[in-house]
Structure 1
Amino acid sequence: MTEILVQSGIEGAVPSAAGRVVDHPAWPVLKDAVETIRPWQSADGSIDFEADGAPAKGIAELTVDRVISAVDELSPLVPHDAAYHRALVADLRRWAETGFQVPDFLDSLLAFQPAAHREDGLQHLVVFPMYTQNGNPDRNFEAVVLRMVWPDWLAELERTRYDNPLFCGITFEDFTAGYDTNSAVLFPETIAVREAPERFSWGGIFCDREAARFRRVTEAAVDLLGLELPDDIREMVGDQDRCQQAFVLWDMVHDRTHSHGDLPFDPFMIKQRQPFWMYGLEELRCDLTAFKEAVKLEAEGVPQARDVQYAVLFDRMFRFPVTGDRVKNYDGLGGQLLFAYLHKHDVLRWTDNQLRIDWERAPEITNQLCGEIEDLYRAGIDRPKLVHWFAAYDLVSRYLAPHPGSRWAKGPEALDTSLPPRKLVDEVLPDEFPLSMFYEALSKKLKHVIASTKGITATSGAEKVAA
């Protein structure tokens, strides 16, 4: 791959113009063809030719041919994707030949193996029928050009301490409409296939979008709350490259934590119905584990480690609680819990309309919350499921006030415990732990800033939000 110049920094390769997929004339052709197909598709990815606005079948076939031709032209720029692109073309042809029914792209999914060759700056051209998490819920076609983020320092940490062979840190080059949203992941389970593979072999997280979104919301929140930042953290928030480095390390440790530790349940690998605070605690546990590891790494002199700690704190406390709707918002719940815990342990003070943080005590107390969640998990293996759910509820409700109408807050005697645990999930209120007055006010102030991060990338994130 002579056109790819691998660098050690997070920005990755800086290829010649001829080597960039997005600079090739076939890329806008591919993008336009995919955008033409997307509105024709039903939620399951098929095309109903009887529906209003549907094309003639011959037009759909010609448009798929345009996609295939563009992929064939672009594939030599990414020779490591050659087997995947051959399978992709075959899947596209089969979709057209079988009448544009529900798409099945299992063969091309199995052929796409980005984690098998993680090289910093390596670009990939990806086309799949898929939904985008936190974006488009329908399985429309998407075309994405991305780059791998795999600098030497990260590769060494993964090899020696945080084994995560499926993890892919990635950045956007360009994308179709399904990614002009809040989605910051590329996961194989979102792709339309006839059957799920026995195991998935990769998972990608766009650290450039996460970093740009973090920077914009954090800058606005810090200004609104009058928070005085240490000089090095203020510099980090203003630096896209540093934030990307922080997020790719955070994501790598977070991702592996889902399968590490004392796990009384495995919420994401085994499909099961649970109260949303269980998912909230799991996500927060993974974030706080990344925080705890970053404290260790900072002591060992890893430059990115301090940035990870404050990325976790600020994203969790400022963005997560006021992002999205309030219906069983488990990421929002985790952010509320972290803020309340630090506040009740006097690390945070909201006084005279100004937020103050005890920077020296913040790592210790944040790790203390991580320890409480770990203790909950450790004890969970000896508990029946429903007892464990109540223990988790007790942990959360020690720091967050439940809704006054909650039956769960009244304890087991308020519920029909003769029912299977999954049935009792129906008794959970949509907003079981409402926002505090502080967060209600912050939400009103930040909602326009958060809305402005839709579709954000490293380039667009550099622009300041208009006052």
Structure 2
Amino acid sequence: MTEILAPAVSEGGVLSAERVVEHPAWPVLKAAVEELRVWQSEDGAIDLEADGAPASDAVRAVVDRMIGAVEELAPLLPHNAAYHQALVADLRKWADQGFGVPDFLDSLLAFQPAEARVDGLQHLVLFPMYTQNGNPDRNFEAVVLRMVWPEWLSELERTRYDNPLFLGITFEDFTAGYDTNSAVLFPETIAVREAPERFTWGGIFCDREAARFRAVSEAAVDVLGIDLPEDIKALLDDQQRCQEAFVLWDMVHDRTHSHGDLPFDPFMIKQRQPFWMYGLEELRCDLTAFKEAVKLEAEGFAQARDVQYAVIFDRMFRFPVTGDRVRNYDGLGGQLLFAYLHRHDVVRWTDNTLHIDWDRAPQVTNQLCGEIEKLYRDGIDRPKLVHWFKAYELVSDYLAPHPGSTWAKGPEALDLSLPPRKLVDDVLPDEFPLSMFYEALAKKLRNVIASTKGMTADSDVHAAAAA
């Protein structure tokens, strides 16, 4: 076994140690995970009776390699000791019980990264899980990540934006489920026998978000002929600066889901609602982060100005043209922001060039945030269906509904004897299609959007932008 260097604490109080991904056991673990996952079904089980299925001994040998690699890597990560012990126990239990539907609740409960948010701290994560915007099946995934928790962010979280479960994180390396568009690590994606009473952490990969933002924004600026201020040019050329903008944006966005004049269950996980309701909720959280960034900029936080640029550019240029058009609520939010700014002359498409009034953008963007907040506040006194229609009116005032839409014809076109959740069936998959502007932009950015799959801080952003 390779000799393992003991971790040490630097003068700044940050745990420093040998990089997990440079240890010989990491490629062993990664290869074993990739070998195992091709045998797994959608629910994570392995059907040993299926045609072409591997022998039980062959599967156990791969699991044993995974266990051995975890045990070799564990001394590098003493803060994960309880989790790695539980992980090994869950892997052995899964094998002993015949490789059925995985249950990794014990190791999930033992993994508590939010208890020690230390900038630069490494974690080795291995779970059967699906990856949001990536692989929908609960295959095993192995990820090495680092915490992003600089002192200025820690202070803001402690004094103004309390969010004890939030993790800013970056990739060190990952298995195939993350060689995708997924930029989150959420506990609810993990295969368990029952959901815990409460989740205690949630991570967002700010390095992937920043790299995608840079690539798509550079391409959009080139296609649209935007005259950028020097400050934004410098931002797009600086991965570290973009990561700091995104980790602040993400922290404020994440907490906003549970702050404000809200309906019950603001995440709307257990509710069936028209997808424009999800779009407005995500946009509300982004615009709240924008509004807070305007305040922070006035107080001298350098990252706050960058957050404003990131929200406007990512929402206007990447979100509307990314993914398919079936209930694309993030895309809808981006379309609404652009249309609102266009209606109020903050953005103008003239002479095949997009002009942006940078001075008025903060005021008008905050104005849209105010309209959504008023919708929520008034909605507390409305029946659910009335609230949905008021939200539809807000969106359709700026975005043209599909000509065949039933909802666009008003309440009289719907069977109101049905419960509201049944009326969601009358919503078209693409209720608010792309405008001619966005149809053209989507074609221009198609290649660069595709190139951002699996992107990290180490990717060639400029080459992607030129794709």
Which TM-score tier does this pair reach, normalised by the shorter chain?
Answer: over 0.9
Distance 2:195 2:45 in 1: 18
Distance 2:56 2:9 in 1: 40
1:20-44 Cα offsets, whole Å, 9 max, x none, are: 1000000000000011100000000
Asked whether the 8 Å contact 1:267–1:279 carries over to 2, the reply is no
Give the secondary-structure state (helix, strand or coil) at the position aligned to 2:403: coil
Q: How far apart are residue 423 of structure 1 and its match?
A: 0.2
- Is 1:70 equivalent to 2:69 in the alignment? yes
1:321-332 pair list within 5 angstroms? 321-332=320-331
Report what 1:102 is aligned to. 101
Distance 1:85 1:461 in 2: 34
Counterpart of 1:257 in structure 2: which amino acid? T
Distance 1:300 1:6 in 2: 29
Distance 1:111 1:365, change over 3 A: same
Give the secondary-structure state (helix, strand or coil) at the position aligned to 2:171: strand
Distance 2:212 2:76 in 1: 30
Asked whether the 8 Å contact 2:258–2:266 carries over to 1, the reply is no
Report what 1:390 is aligned to. 389
Report what 1:173 is aligned to. 172
Counterpart of 2:375 in structure 1: which amino acid? L
Distance 2:383 2:440 in 1: 39
1:397-449 Cα offsets, whole Å, 9 max, x none, are: 00000001101001000001110000000000000000000000000000110
Report what 1:211 is aligned to. 210
1:187-212 Cα offsets, whole Å, 9 max, x none, are: 00000000000000000000000000
Distance 2:55 2:380 in 1: 58
Distance 2:82 2:7 in 1: 19
Counterpart of 2:198 in structure 1: which amino acid? R
Distance 1:455 1:53, change over 3 A: farther
Report what 2:3 is aligned to. none
Distance 2:344 2:159 in 1: 35
Distance 2:37 2:172 in 1: 20
Report what 2:412 is aligned to. 413
Q: How far apart are residue 316 of structure 1 and its match?
A: 0.2
| More displaced stretch, 124-133 vs 453-462 | 453-462
1:51-450 pair list within 5 angstroms? 51-268=50-267, 270-450=269-449
Give the secondary-structure state (helix, strand or coil) at the position aligned to 1:304: helix
Give the secondary-structure state (helix, strand or coil) at the position aligned to 2:167: strand
Q: How far apart are residue 461 of structure 1 and its match?
A: 4.1
Q: How far apart are residue 50 of structure 1 and its match?
A: 2.2
Counterpart of 1:443 in structure 2: which amino acid? A
Give the secondary-structure state (helix, strand or coil) at the position aligned to 2:38: helix
Give the secondary-structure state (helix, strand or coil) at the position aligned to 1:195: coil
Asked whether the 8 Å contact 1:40–1:53 carries over to 2, the reply is no
Counterpart of 1:88 in structure 2: which amino acid? L
Counterpart of 1:256 in structure 2: which amino acid? R
| More displaced stretch, 416-425 vs 265-274 | 265-274
Counterpart of 1:423 in structure 2: which amino acid? K
Q: How far apart are residue 53 of structure 1 and its match?
A: 3.5
Asked whether the 8 Å contact 1:6–1:120 carries over to 2, the reply is no
Q: How far apart are residue 264 of structure 1 and its match?
A: 2.1
- Is 1:21 equivalent to 2:14 in the alignment? no
Counterpart of 1:328 in structure 2: which amino acid? R
Q: How far apart are residue 79 of structure 1 and its match?
A: 0.4
Q: How far apart are residue 49 of structure 1 and its match?
A: 1.2
Give the secondary-structure state (helix, strand or coil) at the position aligned to 1:458: coil
Counterpart of 1:204 in structure 2: which amino acid? G
Q: How far apart are residue 267 of structure 1 and its match?
A: 4.0
Distance 2:263 2:97 in 1: 45
Distance 2:253 2:460 in 1: 24
Counterpart of 2:71 in structure 1: which amino acid? D
Q: How far apart are residue 2 of structure 1 and its match?
A: 3.8
Distance 1:321 1:5 in 2: 44
1:225-275 Cα offsets, whole Å, 9 max, x none, are: 000111011100110000000000000000000000000242426501000
| More displaced stretch, 138-147 vs 229-238 | 229-238
Asked whether the 8 Å contact 2:39–2:53 carries over to 1, the reply is yes
Q: How far apart are residue 123 of structure 1 and its match?
A: 0.1
Give the secondary-structure state (helix, strand or coil) at the position aligned to 2:141: strand
Structure 2 length as normaliser, TM-score? 0.97
Distance 1:434 1:4, change over 3 A: farther
Asked whether the 8 Å contact 2:7–2:76 carries over to 1, the reply is no
1:276-295 Cα offsets, whole Å, 9 max, x none, are: 00000000000000000000
Distance 1:313 1:339 in 2: 9
Distance 1:345 1:5 in 2: 52
Asked whether the 8 Å contact 2:348–2:354 carries over to 1, the reply is yes
- Is 1:32 equivalent to 2:62 in the alignment? no
Superposition CA RMSD, Å: 1.3
Distance 1:53 1:170 in 2: 39
Asked whether the 8 Å contact 1:46–1:103 carries over to 2, the reply is yes
Counterpart of 2:414 in structure 1: which amino acid? L
Distance 1:116 1:78 in 2: 15
Distance 2:269 2:305 in 1: 34
Distance 2:210 2:77 in 1: 26
Structure 1 length as normaliser, TM-score? 0.97
Distance 1:229 1:6, change over 3 A: farther
Distance 1:139 1:81 in 2: 23
Q: How far apart are residue 62 of structure 1 and its match?
A: 0.7
Distance 1:129 1:54 in 2: 19
Q: Which blocks of at least 5 consecutive residues in structure 1 are unaligned?
A: none
